[in-house]
Amino acid sequence: MKNPTIEDSLPSESVMTDAAAGIITRVEELAYELKIEEVMTRDIKWVMPTMKMQDVLNLFREARISGAPVVAKGRLIGIISLEDLIRALRDMGRGELNATVATYMSPKVVTVNALDPIVEALKSFAQTKFGRLVVVNDAGQLVGIITKGDVTRGLLGALQHDYQAEEVRRYRASHLFEDIISDRTSLILRYQIKPRDFTHGGTASSHIKRALLRLGANPQIARRCGIAIYEAEMNLIIHTIRGGEVQVEIEPHQIVMETMDDGPGIEDIELAMKPGYSTAPPEVREMGFGAGMGLKNIQRCVNELVLESKPGRGTRLHMKIDLLPEETFSEKGHFSADDQPRGRTK
Protein backbone atom coordinates (compact mmCIF):
# COMPACT_ATOMS: atom_id res chain seq x y z
CA MET A 1 0.00 0.00 0.00
CA LYS A 2 1.37 3.41 -0.94
CA ASN A 3 2.30 5.64 1.99
CA PRO A 4 0.36 8.93 1.88
CA THR A 5 2.34 12.12 1.45
CA ILE A 6 1.52 15.77 2.00
CA GLU A 7 0.97 16.20 -1.73
CA ASP A 8 -1.47 13.27 -1.72
CA SER A 9 -3.48 15.08 0.95
CA LEU A 10 -3.73 18.38 -0.87
CA PRO A 11 -6.95 19.35 -2.66
CA SER A 12 -6.89 19.44 -6.46
CA GLU A 13 -8.21 22.99 -6.68
CA SER A 14 -5.81 25.68 -7.86
CA VAL A 15 -6.27 27.60 -4.61
CA MET A 16 -6.25 25.94 -1.18
CA THR A 17 -8.91 26.90 1.34
CA ASP A 18 -9.32 26.00 5.00
CA ALA A 19 -12.74 24.55 4.27
CA ALA A 20 -11.28 22.20 1.64
CA ALA A 21 -8.02 21.26 3.32
CA GLY A 22 -8.71 21.63 7.04
CA ILE A 23 -5.88 20.59 9.34
CA ILE A 24 -3.77 19.38 6.42
CA THR A 25 -2.80 22.95 5.59
CA ARG A 26 -1.41 23.42 9.10
CA VAL A 27 0.56 20.19 8.76
CA GLU A 28 1.89 21.32 5.41
CA GLU A 29 2.88 24.65 6.92
CA LEU A 30 4.80 22.92 9.70
CA ALA A 31 6.64 20.80 7.13
CA TYR A 32 8.14 24.03 5.80
CA GLU A 33 8.88 25.44 9.28
CA LEU A 34 10.35 22.56 11.27
CA LYS A 35 13.97 21.59 10.64
CA ILE A 36 15.05 17.99 10.17
CA GLU A 37 17.28 18.23 13.25
CA GLU A 38 14.17 18.97 15.35
CA VAL A 39 12.51 15.62 14.55
CA MET A 40 15.36 13.24 13.64
CA THR A 41 16.65 10.42 15.84
CA ARG A 42 20.00 11.42 17.33
CA ASP A 43 20.78 8.16 19.12
CA ILE A 44 22.25 6.46 16.07
CA LYS A 45 22.68 2.69 16.01
CA TRP A 46 25.23 1.84 13.34
CA VAL A 47 26.90 -1.35 12.17
CA MET A 48 30.18 -2.34 10.52
CA PRO A 49 30.36 -4.13 7.16
CA THR A 50 32.13 -7.12 8.76
CA MET A 51 29.33 -7.79 11.26
CA LYS A 52 27.17 -10.88 10.80
CA MET A 53 23.55 -10.54 9.79
CA GLN A 54 22.69 -12.41 12.99
CA ASP A 55 24.16 -9.49 14.94
CA VAL A 56 22.04 -7.11 12.86
CA LEU A 57 18.95 -9.16 13.72
CA ASN A 58 19.79 -8.93 17.43
CA LEU A 59 20.44 -5.17 17.19
CA PHE A 60 17.16 -4.50 15.38
CA ARG A 61 15.23 -6.55 17.92
CA GLU A 62 16.87 -5.02 21.01
CA ALA A 63 16.85 -1.40 19.77
CA ARG A 64 13.46 -1.78 18.05
CA ILE A 65 14.70 -0.22 14.82
CA SER A 66 14.25 -1.20 11.18
CA GLY A 67 17.48 0.12 9.69
CA ALA A 68 20.96 1.36 10.46
CA PRO A 69 23.83 3.09 8.62
CA VAL A 70 26.94 1.06 7.81
CA VAL A 71 30.20 2.72 8.87
CA ALA A 72 33.79 1.68 8.10
CA LYS A 73 36.80 3.58 9.47
CA GLY A 74 34.56 6.48 10.42
CA ARG A 75 33.12 6.77 6.91
CA LEU A 76 29.51 6.16 5.89
CA ILE A 77 29.52 3.45 3.21
CA GLY A 78 25.97 2.11 3.13
CA ILE A 79 22.74 1.31 4.92
CA ILE A 80 21.19 -1.96 6.10
CA SER A 81 17.43 -2.32 6.51
CA LEU A 82 14.83 -4.77 7.72
CA GLU A 83 14.13 -5.58 4.07
CA ASP A 84 17.79 -6.60 3.65
CA LEU A 85 17.52 -8.79 6.73
CA ILE A 86 14.41 -10.49 5.35
CA ARG A 87 16.24 -11.04 2.07
CA ALA A 88 19.10 -12.68 3.95
CA LEU A 89 16.67 -14.97 5.79
CA ARG A 90 15.04 -15.92 2.50
CA ASP A 91 18.39 -16.69 0.89
CA MET A 92 19.55 -18.90 3.76
CA GLY A 93 17.88 -22.29 3.39
CA ARG A 94 17.99 -23.05 7.10
CA GLY A 95 17.76 -19.51 8.31
CA GLU A 96 21.48 -19.24 9.10
CA LEU A 97 22.64 -15.64 9.27
CA ASN A 98 26.40 -15.97 9.02
CA ALA A 99 26.71 -13.70 5.98
CA THR A 100 28.29 -10.30 6.57
CA VAL A 101 26.54 -6.96 6.43
CA ALA A 102 28.58 -6.06 3.35
CA THR A 103 26.80 -8.85 1.45
CA TYR A 104 23.32 -7.40 1.88
CA MET A 105 23.73 -3.70 2.61
CA SER A 106 22.77 -1.05 0.09
CA PRO A 107 25.74 1.15 -0.89
CA LYS A 108 23.36 3.83 -2.14
CA VAL A 109 22.83 6.21 0.76
CA VAL A 110 20.45 9.15 0.40
CA THR A 111 21.33 11.92 2.83
CA VAL A 112 19.56 15.08 3.94
CA ASN A 113 20.95 18.09 5.78
CA ALA A 114 20.02 18.55 9.44
CA LEU A 115 19.23 22.24 8.84
CA ASP A 116 16.83 21.64 5.94
CA PRO A 117 13.06 21.88 6.56
CA ILE A 118 11.42 18.48 6.84
CA VAL A 119 9.56 19.08 3.58
CA GLU A 120 12.88 18.27 1.86
CA ALA A 121 12.99 14.92 3.65
CA LEU A 122 9.41 14.26 2.54
CA LYS A 123 10.41 14.96 -1.06
CA SER A 124 13.31 12.51 -0.76
CA PHE A 125 11.01 9.87 0.74
CA ALA A 126 8.65 10.28 -2.22
CA GLN A 127 11.45 10.15 -4.80
CA THR A 128 13.42 7.23 -3.40
CA LYS A 129 10.68 5.16 -1.72
CA PHE A 130 13.16 4.58 1.14
CA GLY A 131 11.87 4.21 4.68
CA ARG A 132 14.75 6.07 6.31
CA LEU A 133 17.27 8.74 5.38
CA VAL A 134 20.70 9.46 6.82
CA VAL A 135 21.06 12.97 8.25
CA VAL A 136 24.36 14.83 7.92
CA ASN A 137 25.59 18.28 8.94
CA ASP A 138 27.20 20.88 6.68
CA ALA A 139 30.51 19.05 7.00
CA GLY A 140 28.95 15.80 5.75
CA GLN A 141 29.22 14.13 9.14
CA LEU A 142 26.61 11.61 10.29
CA VAL A 143 24.40 13.23 12.94
CA GLY A 144 21.13 11.30 12.83
CA ILE A 145 18.53 9.19 11.09
CA ILE A 146 15.08 10.34 10.00
CA THR A 147 12.14 8.07 9.25
CA LYS A 148 8.56 8.76 8.24
CA GLY A 149 7.64 7.93 11.82
CA ASP A 150 10.00 10.65 13.06
CA VAL A 151 8.30 13.15 10.74
CA THR A 152 4.84 12.14 11.96
CA ARG A 153 5.83 12.41 15.63
CA GLY A 154 7.49 15.77 15.03
CA LEU A 155 4.45 17.20 13.29
CA LEU A 156 2.08 15.94 15.97
CA GLY A 157 4.29 17.43 18.67
CA ALA A 158 4.37 20.80 16.91
CA LEU A 159 0.59 20.78 16.51
CA GLN A 160 0.29 20.54 20.28
CA HIS A 161 2.31 23.71 20.71
CA ASP A 162 0.75 26.45 18.67
CA TYR A 163 3.63 28.79 19.17
CA GLN A 164 2.42 31.15 16.47
CA ALA A 165 -0.60 32.22 18.53
CA GLU A 166 1.70 33.34 21.35
CA GLU A 167 3.98 35.08 18.88
CA VAL A 168 1.10 37.07 17.39
CA ARG A 169 -0.19 38.05 20.85
CA ARG A 170 3.27 39.25 21.87
CA TYR A 171 3.63 41.62 19.00
CA ARG A 172 0.94 43.15 16.83
CA ALA A 173 1.61 45.71 14.19
CA SER A 174 -1.96 46.96 14.35
CA HIS A 175 -0.97 50.62 14.68
CA LEU A 176 1.66 50.60 11.94
CA PHE A 177 -0.62 52.45 9.51
CA GLU A 178 -2.81 54.33 11.96
CA ASP A 179 -1.20 57.75 11.40
CA ILE A 180 -0.57 57.36 7.66
CA ILE A 181 -2.93 59.26 5.36
CA SER A 182 -2.68 58.47 1.66
CA ASP A 183 -4.83 57.56 -1.31
CA ARG A 184 -3.27 54.13 -1.43
CA THR A 185 -1.13 52.61 1.32
CA SER A 186 1.04 49.57 0.86
CA LEU A 187 3.85 47.84 2.70
CA ILE A 188 6.78 46.53 0.66
CA LEU A 189 9.17 43.89 2.03
CA ARG A 190 12.42 43.05 0.22
CA TYR A 191 14.93 40.24 0.80
CA GLN A 192 18.22 39.51 -0.94
CA ILE A 193 18.80 35.83 -1.69
CA LYS A 194 22.28 34.41 -2.19
CA PRO A 195 23.00 31.58 -4.67
CA ARG A 196 23.53 28.08 -3.21
CA ASP A 197 22.84 29.37 0.30
CA PHE A 198 20.92 26.26 1.33
CA THR A 199 21.66 26.84 5.01
CA HIS A 200 19.42 29.93 5.00
CA GLY A 201 16.89 28.59 2.52
CA GLY A 202 13.36 29.39 3.69
CA THR A 203 14.40 32.31 5.90
CA ALA A 204 12.73 34.95 3.73
CA SER A 205 9.48 32.98 3.47
CA SER A 206 9.44 32.50 7.26
CA HIS A 207 9.93 36.23 7.87
CA ILE A 208 7.24 37.14 5.36
CA LYS A 209 4.71 34.76 6.86
CA ARG A 210 5.46 36.06 10.34
CA ALA A 211 5.03 39.66 9.16
CA LEU A 212 1.64 38.85 7.64
CA LEU A 213 0.45 37.22 10.85
CA ARG A 214 1.64 40.18 12.91
CA LEU A 215 -0.30 42.48 10.60
CA GLY A 216 -3.40 40.43 11.38
CA ALA A 217 -3.61 38.41 8.16
CA ASN A 218 -5.85 35.39 7.92
CA PRO A 219 -3.61 32.39 8.85
CA GLN A 220 -4.66 30.67 5.62
CA ILE A 221 -3.38 33.62 3.58
CA ALA A 222 -0.09 33.61 5.50
CA ARG A 223 0.32 29.88 4.83
CA ARG A 224 -0.28 30.25 1.12
CA CYS A 225 2.19 33.14 0.88
CA GLY A 226 4.77 31.27 2.94
CA ILE A 227 4.71 28.19 0.72
CA ALA A 228 4.73 30.18 -2.52
CA ILE A 229 7.68 32.30 -1.39
CA TYR A 230 9.60 29.28 -0.08
CA GLU A 231 9.46 27.54 -3.45
CA ALA A 232 10.36 30.76 -5.31
CA GLU A 233 13.18 31.45 -2.85
CA MET A 234 14.66 27.96 -3.34
CA ASN A 235 14.55 28.46 -7.12
CA LEU A 236 16.78 31.52 -6.68
CA ILE A 237 19.16 29.57 -4.46
CA ILE A 238 19.35 26.59 -6.83
CA HIS A 239 19.34 28.14 -10.29
CA THR A 240 20.81 31.64 -10.13
CA ILE A 241 24.46 32.62 -10.49
CA ARG A 242 24.44 35.83 -8.44
CA GLY A 243 21.27 35.31 -6.46
CA GLY A 244 18.24 37.58 -6.65
CA GLU A 245 15.59 39.50 -4.76
CA VAL A 246 12.26 38.57 -3.21
CA GLN A 247 9.74 41.41 -2.97
CA VAL A 248 6.31 41.35 -1.37
CA GLU A 249 3.82 44.21 -1.59
CA ILE A 250 0.98 44.03 0.92
CA GLU A 251 -2.24 45.97 0.24
CA PRO A 252 -5.78 45.77 1.66
CA HIS A 253 -7.15 43.87 -1.33
CA GLN A 254 -4.16 41.86 -2.56
CA ILE A 255 -0.67 40.55 -1.87
CA VAL A 256 1.78 40.71 -4.78
CA MET A 257 4.96 38.63 -4.57
CA GLU A 258 7.85 38.75 -7.02
CA THR A 259 11.30 37.25 -7.40
CA MET A 260 13.85 38.76 -9.77
CA ASP A 261 17.34 37.77 -10.90
CA ASP A 262 19.69 38.67 -13.73
CA GLY A 263 20.62 35.25 -15.06
CA PRO A 264 20.97 32.61 -16.43
CA GLY A 265 17.32 32.65 -17.58
CA ILE A 266 15.02 29.92 -18.84
CA GLU A 267 15.09 28.68 -22.42
CA ASP A 268 11.66 27.02 -22.51
CA ILE A 269 9.12 28.51 -20.07
CA GLU A 270 6.35 26.12 -21.12
CA LEU A 271 8.57 23.14 -20.37
CA ALA A 272 9.70 24.68 -17.08
CA MET A 273 6.08 24.89 -15.93
CA LYS A 274 5.56 21.12 -16.29
CA PRO A 275 5.57 19.18 -12.99
CA GLY A 276 8.77 17.17 -12.52
CA TYR A 277 10.87 19.14 -15.00
CA SER A 278 14.06 20.51 -13.48
CA THR A 279 17.41 21.86 -14.63
CA ALA A 280 19.00 21.51 -11.20
CA PRO A 281 22.56 20.11 -11.44
CA PRO A 282 23.27 16.58 -10.11
CA GLU A 283 24.98 17.82 -6.93
CA VAL A 284 21.86 19.79 -6.00
CA ARG A 285 19.60 16.81 -6.69
CA GLU A 286 21.81 14.66 -4.47
CA MET A 287 21.09 17.12 -1.68
CA GLY A 288 17.35 16.50 -2.12
CA PHE A 289 16.50 19.74 -3.95
CA GLY A 290 15.40 20.46 -7.51
CA ALA A 291 12.57 17.92 -7.83
CA GLY A 292 10.76 20.12 -10.35
CA MET A 293 7.60 20.59 -8.26
CA GLY A 294 8.23 24.17 -7.10
CA LEU A 295 6.14 25.99 -9.70
CA LYS A 296 3.34 23.44 -9.31
CA ASN A 297 3.26 24.06 -5.56
CA ILE A 298 3.21 27.82 -6.16
CA GLN A 299 0.29 27.53 -8.59
CA ARG A 300 -1.70 25.74 -5.92
CA CYS A 301 -1.29 28.66 -3.53
CA VAL A 302 -1.81 31.77 -5.66
CA ASN A 303 -4.51 33.29 -7.85
CA GLU A 304 -2.11 34.51 -10.50
CA LEU A 305 1.32 33.33 -11.63
CA VAL A 306 3.36 34.86 -14.44
CA LEU A 307 6.85 33.63 -15.36
CA GLU A 308 8.95 35.83 -17.62
CA SER A 309 12.49 34.91 -18.65
CA LYS A 310 15.08 35.23 -21.38
CA PRO A 311 18.28 33.14 -21.58
CA GLY A 312 21.20 35.14 -20.26
CA ARG A 313 19.01 38.06 -19.16
CA GLY A 314 17.35 36.75 -16.03
CA THR A 315 13.94 35.71 -14.76
CA ARG A 316 10.97 37.44 -13.14
CA LEU A 317 8.34 35.44 -11.28
CA HIS A 318 5.13 37.34 -10.48
CA MET A 319 2.63 35.87 -8.00
CA LYS A 320 -0.57 37.42 -6.69
CA ILE A 321 -3.15 36.50 -4.08
CA ASP A 322 -6.49 38.32 -4.20
CA LEU A 323 -8.05 38.91 -0.79
CA LEU A 324 -11.73 38.34 -0.21
CA PRO A 325 -13.65 40.97 1.81
CA GLU A 326 -13.42 38.84 4.95
CA GLU A 327 -9.67 38.37 4.42
CA THR A 328 -8.66 42.01 4.02
CA PHE A 329 -6.43 43.74 6.54
CA SER A 330 -8.97 46.57 6.87
CA GLU A 331 -11.03 44.53 9.34
CA LYS A 332 -8.15 44.74 11.81
CA GLY A 333 -7.76 48.49 11.28
CA HIS A 334 -4.34 48.12 9.66
CA PHE A 335 -5.44 49.70 6.36
CA SER A 336 -8.30 51.98 5.49
CA ALA A 337 -11.17 50.16 3.86
CA ASP A 338 -11.53 53.17 1.54
CA ASP A 339 -8.00 52.85 0.11
CA GLN A 340 -8.13 53.13 -3.66
CA PRO A 341 -5.30 52.44 -6.16
CA ARG A 342 -4.49 56.07 -7.03
CA GLY A 343 -0.98 56.32 -5.59
CA ARG A 344 0.93 54.73 -2.78
CA THR A 345 3.09 55.37 0.23
CA LYS A 346 6.11 53.12 0.71
According to the model, what pLDDT value does residue 337 have?
47
The per-residue pLDDT for range 171-189, each reduced to its tens digit, is 555 556 566 677 888 889 9
The per-residue pLDDT for 156 is: 87
pLDDT of residue 346: 37
Q: What single-letter amino acid sits at 159?
A: L
Burial of 342 by CB count in 10 Å (0-12 exposed, 13-18 middle, 19+ buried)? exposed
Domains observed in the chain: 39-157 (3.10.580.10), 177-332 (3.30.565.10)
Q: Which residues of 126-143 are buried (b: 16+ CB within 10 A; e: fewer)?
A: eeeebebbbbbeeeeebb
Which pLDDT tens digit goes with each residue over 73-120?
878 888 998 888 888 888 766 556 888 999 999 888 889 999 999 999
How crowded is residue 269: how many other Cβ atoms within 10 Å of its Cβ?
Answer: 14
Q: Could you give the dihedral angle defined by the CA atoms of residues 234, 7, 296 and 120, in that order, rounded to the nearest 10 degrees?
A: 10
- pLDDT recorded at residue 18: 42
What's residue 316's pLDDT? 94
- The enclosing H or E element of 91 equals helix 82-91
What percent of the chain is modeled with pLDDT above 90?
A: 34
Q: Is 0.75 topped by the overall pTM?
A: no
Which amino acid is located at 151 in the chain?
Answer: V
41 neighbors 144 (Cβ within 8 angstroms): yes
**Series of mean pLDDT values for 10-residue runs along the chain (346 residues):** 42 42 64 92 91 93 90 87 87 73 89 93 88 87 90 87 56 58 86 92 91 84 93 90 94 92 84 75 68 82 93 92 80 48 38
Among candidates 40, 6, 70, 63, which has minimal Cα distance to 146?
40
CA distance 190 to 193: 10
pLDDT for res 217: 83
